[in-house]
Amino acid sequence: MTSIPSSSKVKLFGLDIDALTLTQTVTALCARVAQRPTTVVVTPNVDHIVSLSELPALRQLYGAADFIVADGMPLVWASRLLGTPLPERVNGTDLFESLCQQAQSNGWRVGALGGMPGQEPVLRAGMAKAYPGMHFEIQSPPMGFDYQSDAAATYVEWANESRLDILFVCLGFPRQDQWGMHHRTKLNVGLVLGVGASMEFVVGLRSRAPVWMQKSGLEWAWRLGSEPAKLWRRYLVRGPRFIGIFWHEWRAKHRQTQR
């Protein structure tokens, strides 16, 4: 398990979130690359919190990750309003880029599990351009991939045989985190991180929001405008449910304080 002391964690929405900056997170994770067993990292955002509130079994699995860092300004704002502030947002794409830079400098072997089947050559070329000289491998499972299937186990064998130091799982939530947690005792990989569409942002297959929107908590609006058919339900239907979850958390904390 992680060596981060318990005093640097924030209890929020049923999760023990690591109260770390992006720089601190990268430093802590790089220190784990050469260690075993596998270190699993999850990056909760608003959509994740809503799903975890609806599925206790998933929340238990997700919450057992070695590192939990907040990818979402609403989580940071909520932590401040609840009196247990997180230092900053640790965005999955920023984490992906920072760890790839570290891998490039240190000669670490990087792999990705995800991407659209048939798109592997494009992703390899994009990663080679973004991080020249970095060892990179990719496997793209078929659509509807079952993280518990026999086929899922073959990707564990691939990761181990490839002697990966870092494995980015780009299957989307919750499948990417379910796969990582379900197989982590069989994986011989330094780090396993679920990072969604981060690789596609980095190689230019999708455009990321301007920095000012990222910092002001409006990246969701950019993504909604970029992919409305895919994301409207996440942001316009499920997103507002987070307000009710926060209200419940605030009331519980307020009652506890009164006692």
The pLDDT > 90 percentage for the chain reads 69
Q: So what's the pLDDT on residue 217?
A: 83
110: which strand partners? Answer: 136, 166
> Which pLDDT band, with edges at 50, 70 and 90, does 180 fall under?
very high
Helix (H) or strand (E) holding 168: strand 166-170
pLDDT at 1 over 90: no
137: which strand partners? Answer: 111
Q: So what's the pLDDT on residue 4?
A: 45
The 10s digit of each residue's pLDDT in 44-66 is: 999 999 999 999 999 999 999 99
The 10s digit of each residue's pLDDT in 62-94 is: 999 999 999 989 999 999 999 999 999 999 999
pLDDT higher for 157 or 232? Answer: 157
N-term to C-term CA, the chain: 34
| Cα separation, 164 vs 184, whole angstroms | 13
Closest CA to 69 of 112, 105, 98: 98
Q: φ, ψ for residue 44 (rounded to 5)?
A: -65, 140
| Cα separation, 108 vs 100, whole angstroms | 9
Neighbour-count burial of 23, counting CB atoms closer than 10 A to its CB (0-12 exposed, 13-18 middle, 19+ buried): exposed
Read off the tokens for 188.
């011989």
Residues 6+ apart with CB under 8 A from 215: none
pLDDT higher for 158 or 2? Answer: 158
Q: Map out the domains of the chain as residue ranges.
A: 6-243
Q: Angle between the 241-258 and 46-54 helix axes, to the nearest 10 degrees?
A: 70
